[in-house]
Amino acid sequence: MKAQLLLTPTAAKYLIAEALFKKIDFSKRIYVAYGSTNQIFLEKLGIKFDELYVAGCFTNKSLNVTKSRPDIVVLQNKKKINIKDFDITKDDYFIKGANALWYENGKKHAAVAAADDKGGTFGNFYIKAACRGSKVIIPVTHEKLIPFYTPSSQNVDLAMGSKIAMLRFFYGEVYTEIEAFKELFGVEAKVIASGGILGNEGSLIFEIEGERAKEAFEFAKEANSYIFDKRAEFLY
């Protein structure tokens, strides 16, 4: 069976968050970096937040950094554990979102925006996880698709908000809606269009094929009803 469906940007994140439940071995320790997809993932575990679980995001027509944020979450057996003196090992998971996705030589690649001049989580933690061979997963939606990677630093004269560097991931699995549809429903998915108006800005149109396409179609309708309505204060 073939089906065509629309996912809003938030619904695409919801889809990936759902798929991560099936993909991850929850008996292992899981370091969940800040990010909107990761917030949905954690809320599905019943972990609620008063503030956005993000270090920064593009909102208010600006490149923003949060003034305050919840403590980083590390999980084991689907429960938060004490992260005092936590040091990642090869057996641990590290989930870190991205701000750019592109295809190069038939493979998916990703990069993240860093407003911290020390590199943020990328500089302080990702490199350690990569060096130690941890299980790094980089969830990112096709809303963030760019033509190609352009190295960029904070060395600019003007910025609409925070100055950012775009840091390219060199290790880990880039995990998109394509992988999520396959993980959850065993269907093949491809992006055939994007865009929208009147609340559907940034939406993605997928064509999916497989025995469980109807099930995936119904899931997409449910995902499109998810509302990401957290509020946060930002600084530049």
> Is 90 among the domain residues?
yes
Q: Cα-flanking dihedrals φ and ψ of residue 139, to 5°?
A: -75, 130
Report yes or no on 232 lying in a domain.
Answer: no
The pLDDT value given to residue 236 = 66
Tokens of 9: 């940007």
For residue 234, being part of any structural domain is answered with no
- Is 235 a member of any domain? no
Instruction: Please state, in angstroms and rounded to a whole number, the distance separating the CA atoms of residues 147 and 102.
Output: 6
Does 150 fall in a domain? yes
Residue 120: the pLDDT is 86
Q: Please give the C-alpha separations between residue 44 and each of 17, 48, 188, in angstroms, as whole numbers.
A: 8, 9, 25
Q: If you search the block for the tokens 């959850």, which residue do you land on?
A: 184
Structure tokens at 170: 């060199």
* Residue 180 CA: distances (Å) to CA of 22, 88, 199, 214, 229: 9, 25, 24, 15, 23
The structural domain count of the chain equals 1
Kindly give the parts of the chain with pLDDT less than 70: 236
User: What domain range is 122 assigned to?
Assistant: 2-226
> How do beta strands 173-175 and 135-139 pair?
parallel
Residue 159 is assigned to a structural domain of this protein: yes
Rounded distance between C-alpha atoms, residue 184 and residue 36, angstroms: 20
pTM: 0.94
pLDDT one-digit tens code per residue, 114-165: 998 888 889 889 999 999 999 999 999 999 999 999 999 999 999 999 999 9
For residue 222, being part of any structural domain is answered with yes
Compute CA distances 169 → 16, 100, 128, 139, 160, whole Å: 19, 10, 13, 12, 24
